[in-house]
Structure 1
Amino acid sequence: MEGILAQVNLSVLKEPRGFIKILEFVFSICAFATVTSFYSYFTLEVKCNPLDEKPQETFTGEIVYPFQSDRTRDTFSACETSDWNLHVEGDFSSDARFFVAVGVLAFLYVLVALGLYCFFNALYENNDLVPIGDFALHVIFAILWFAASCAWANSLTGLRNATEFDNIKKYNDVCKKLPCLKVTEPHFGQLISSVIFGFLNVFIWTSNLWFLYKETRFYKDRKAGEATDTTN
């Protein structure tokens, strides 16, 4: 244990490749956590008697991860009927899960990379394949973050449209047979921030490529060749 602790090199965290890894760690957590912890709801008031001025029953529909809205059908009893369903049309789970999976994998990879930087920095500096692998994985994650963020942004737009009052009335039998009034709309600020975090991750992971490329032998060999040409 003492030998491992003696090899700890925290100075690498002051370098761009190490400091940006910390940013990747933070923003990866922010991206997937804002999706998985999301909760919102919408509320409708229904008149059992259309001639009555006051609403007589209240329905509440929940919106939670993984947003398999069309598979979640909450049953309510109202107006002497026990099988009213309240749901949102559309299944947005595949893009949401893809986005979360990319965030979790990125988070785990950054942990491994930081451990490599701090405890096995000599291996990183002396083995040409390690910096190349780090650079290649960053390219892959930058592409994954871009694809996942675009897909999730598109699904979030669909989810917001599906939870509009007119669409809820259109696809729920209770509003087809009885007058419905809008009371509470879902709030998607947290999910909008998740999309922003996703594209911030695209920027951060892409920005780090230059600093990681400088650690590879391709860059070092090119600089050495330029120095030789200059001396000649």
Structure 2
Amino acid sequence: MSGPRLELGPAKEPLGLVRGLQWFFSIFAFATCGGYGGAVSFRISCNGQSNATVTASFAYPFRLNHAVFTPSLTNLCNKTWPEDVHLVGDFSSSAQFFVTVAVLAFLYSMVALGLYLGYLHLYRGAGGKLPLVDFLATVAFSFLWLVSSSAWAKALTDVKTSTRAPLPHCQPPAVACFPAGVTPMGSLNVSVIFGFLNLVLWLGSSWFVYKETNFHRPAPPPAAPGPAPM
């Protein structure tokens, strides 16, 4: 196996340029989703008298059914709530799937970009095997981005619904519950946008990788045999 030969030309071509964009935007996809943390708060009033503010904190991977309101509602309003109150729903599977796809896409695009820049002579001189593997991987990631982004977009809608739901057992005027705020989810909205943006990038790059395969660029014919020795 020959050593690396640094060539910056692919970075100026669509093949390498789009891979660089994929690497860049995949970082934002998993960072905006995996780095989120928020909380839901309610003000509780018992018999018209302000009593307490309760808060439930939640974060990635959004197992909201594990987020309990504190301080415990069981001690408020003459034990109106017989047990601790949690948020509703477990959306960890969609969130973790989305982040996993983003991390794997980040790693693959980084390795592929390194291959283009350092081993382009091997990439294009391997009998079409490496471009074919690259093409199949690109198509697979396009499909994964479609599925994971769609699943996460649906889960995010459910997360918003769950965090805006009223507290149970609130019956004014004896017990009144007033929403005190939910942490903005703008970064989560951005993560969905980056997910579908990555889908477009991977779909687009599949064409440029396809052009490197033998399906689009047939292998050169074998050299004609030389004249027989006298």
TM-score category (smaller protein)? 0.7 to 0.9
**SS, match of residue 16 in structure 2:** helix
1:101 corresponding residue in structure 2: 100
Alignment of 1:203-214 (within 5 A): 203-214=200-211
1:67-216 aligned within 5 A: 67-77=62-72, 78-79=75-76, 85-127=84-126, 128-164=128-164, 167-170=165-168, 175=170, 178-216=175-213
1:159 partner letter: V
Residues in 1 aligned to 2:32 and 2:82: alpha-carbon distance in whole angstroms: 33
Shift of 1:9: 1.2
The whole-number CA distance in structure 1 between the counterparts of 2:111 and 2:85 is 45
Mapped partners of 1:182, 1:75: distance in 2: 15
Return the alpha-carbon distance in structure 2 between the equivalents of residues 119 and 64 of structure 1: 40
State the AA in 1 paired with 2:213.
T
Higher helix share: 1
Given residue 139 of structure 1, which amino acid in structure 2 is its aligned partner? Answer: V
1:163-188 superposed Cα distances (whole Å, 9 cap, x missing partner): 11xx2313xx5x46832111112311
Counting aligned pairs with the same residue, the percent is: 37
Amino acid aligned to 1:96: A
Partner of residue 226, structure 2: none
Residue from 25, 28, 31 that aligns with 1:27: 25
Distance 2:102 2:175 in 1: 43
CA contact (8 A) 1:76 1:84 kept: no
Question: Structure 1 residue 75: deviation in Å?
Answer: 4.4
Change (3 A) 1:86 1:129: same
- TM-score computed with the length of structure 2 as normaliser: 0.85
RMSD: 2.3
Aligned length: 213
In 1, are the aligned partners of 2:56 and 2:67 still within 8 Å (CA)?
no
In the alignment, does 2:222 pair up with 1:218? Answer: no
Distance, in Å, in 2 between the alignment partners of 1:155 and 1:187 is: 16
Partner Cα separation in structure 2 for residue 151 and residue 207 of structure 1: 22
8 Å contact 1:75–1:84 — kept in the other structure?
no
* TM-score (normalizing by structure 1): 0.84
**Are residue 59 (structure 1) and residue 59 (structure 2) matched?**
no
Could you tell me how far apart the structure 1 residues matched to 2:112 and 2:82 are?
53
Find the aligned partners of 1:75 and 1:183 in 2 and give their Cα distance.
Answer: 14
In 1, are the aligned partners of 2:145 and 2:198 still within 8 Å (CA)? yes
Structure 2 Cα separation of the partners of residues 124 and 182 of structure 1: 59
- Aligned equivalents of 1:161 and 1:209: distance in 2? 37
Quote the offset at 1:63 in angstroms: 2.4
Whichever of the two has the greater Rg, that structure is 2
In 2, Cα distance between equivalents of 1:184 and 1:209? 44
Could you report, residue by residue, the CA deviation over 1:135-184 in whole angstroms, capped at 9, with x for unpaired residues? 110000000000000000010111111111xx2313xx5x4683211111
Residue 101 of structure 1 deviates from its aligned partner by 0.4
The runs of 5 or more residues in structure 2 that have no matched partner are 222-230
Contact 1:76 1:83 in 2 (8 A): no
1:9 aligns with 7
